[in-house]
Amino acid sequence: MVDQLSSVRKILIDRVNDALLKDLIDWLRDANPPVLTVREANEIMQSRLVTEDRVGQLIDLMLKKGDTSSAIMLSILEQRDRNLAEDLGLI
């Protein structure tokens, strides 16, 4: 799943808006077990970076955490924005 997330990284950076970013972060924190800690979520959301850079931070963090975290993020993306997931060939 790391390869799959990595392959769509640039498109996600361009297409994920602030509302979807917040949803992804919330769902990743609420996953069982949590994929993001409260601290990691706060660091991304409270950053003064533009949305695209914060999306890049989140993706890079998931890639560093490995296949399971990447798979969970892609699964959440499919649930939260099916059209984007279809455009990316994830579904």
> Residue 74 has what pLDDT?
95
Q: To which residue do tokens 């949305």 refer? A: 51
The domains of the chain, with CATH numbers, are 2-87 (1.10.533.10)
Of 29, 80, 82, which is closest to residue 58 (Cα–Cα)? 29
Print burial letters for 59-69: b (CB count within 10 Å at least 16), e (below 16).
Answer: bebbbebeeeb
Task: Quote the tokens at residue 76.
Answer: 């959440």
How far is residue 61's CA from residue 91's CA, in Å, rounded to a whole number? 23
This prediction has a pTM of: 0.93
- pLDDT, one tens digit per residue, over 55-89 is 999 999 999 999 999 999 999 999 999 999 999 99
| Tens-place pLDDT, residues 16-62 | 999 999 999 999 999 998 999 999 999 999 999 999 999 999 999 99
